[in-house]
Structure 1
Amino acid sequence: MKRKLDATKSVKPTVSDAGPAAAAADPAPMSRAQRALVERNRQRALLLRQARLREHPSQAALDGGCAGRVLRVQGARLVDSGGGFFVDEEAADPAPAAPAPLREIPAPIHVSERPACDECDAAVASSFLVDSFDCAVCDACHKEHAEKYALVTRTEAKNEYILRDSDLDEREPLLRFITRRNPHNPRWGQMKLYLRLQVEERALLVWGSEEELERQHELRDKKREKVKVNKFNRRVKELRMAVRSSVYKKKLTGHEHTYGEEVYDEEADTYTRTCTECDHSQTYEKM
């Protein structure tokens, strides 16, 4: 036993005194065959990765059309995505998104060409009314005379000044407007805002004078009142017909006889009775 222990102590470790870090710092040079094997393995890994990332064979049909791979479920068209699930046909082939409209910023006005403000006669280089409505008014005067240079919606412009769509969109010179999100319901889309001063000028251009505009207002009010009266009369007539139809019940059955007193015939041993409303008579025997 003592000899075995001495033999065990005399065994020396194969790792150098510098440790594993020093051994890893000086790796043995690779042979040409080993480098070729590493390159082949790398190329094979790249091919496998490209095969996994490659399109599904049905993807080309998905891009070109959905024939043969469409499933109808309760009226909806579902397309096999090739990944183990179905998607909506519209989601599988989405329409290209429209590019966002670009806003054109006007170039700065030269000092010699700057218009004078209609209220204070100061040169206006840039302001909200100048940039949006081509109205020579500075921002300070705009705030001071906010009611005069107020904005109106398209509906208000048509109702207050009796204007049509063609008067706002087609008649020269075209009215300028700005778009804002509808505060009442964003799903209604953008609303158009016009400068009230320019809308009033357009109304005078269309109707000629303020007196004619007032007369058009009166005619419109009369037409609306007439429409209300006609609608009320139709409603009253419908109610009268409904009341009459509920009171009057049409008889769909035949005539029901109302018999008087029966008369006995001793010779024939029969009884006879006659309807009080018609000449019908009935003869019968009694057991």
Structure 2
Amino acid sequence: MSEKIEKSNEDLPRYLKDRIERNRQKALALQKSKLIHHPNAKGEVVSIDKSVIKIGATRYKDTGGGFLLEEVDQTSEAVSDLPVVIQKPPIVEPDRPECQNCEKPFATSWLFDTFNCKCCDECKELETYKLITKTEAKANYLLQDCDLEKREPPLKFIKRKNPHNVRWGDMKLYLELQVRNRAIEVWGSEEVLEEEKEKREEKKVISKAKKYNKQLRELRMNMRSSMYDRTSAASHTHDFGPEIYNEESDSYTRKCTTCPYEETFEKM
């Protein structure tokens, strides 16, 4: 056992070796004195048990390795007043994360620190790791606020000033890669997401077409009303025939049986 201790001590710095030797000599002197007052002690030497020795107000523990360890009173006021500082352990070589793009280990990364994305600083400029606004994330991937902020785990983002108007609120920028993965999680698969986007685009086209046709019908009716001779209309009462339904324009047409007047209208 002593050979192993001596062998391990060979790798220690010189000042640690000297400290160990001084402690060892001090312990040997205490054992030889057999509780006789130690010349370097400021108080009486008292043996509490086989492994603990008290010199004055200080307690020492015999480690059995050739030196004494000073015991600290955890209940003392001086120790209890010391602030507790918890430092984050450094990333040692085996724990360094690997970049998911180039598969090289890295020590620091802006994307890893900001978005918890395993990507080194050399690869963060790729198109895969671009940032998009919250509005783009909701529109391009059919997501809602709860999908971004409430669903666990909430997506990380950074805030930046709006470049279009400084008076507007700050923009929230998300990592598009994480937004895409969240959309697949919400919709089930990328194929279902694309189908839903196509359906919504079709609805938009149909809605725009209906709005255009309605405006066109209103324009035609206004033109016909302006072309009608109101002077002759005062002395003439129209006698309309049967109504004809136009399925294509979703409107009705009726003609006067006594004059060429024709009227097109819609029913609510």
Max Rg structure: 1
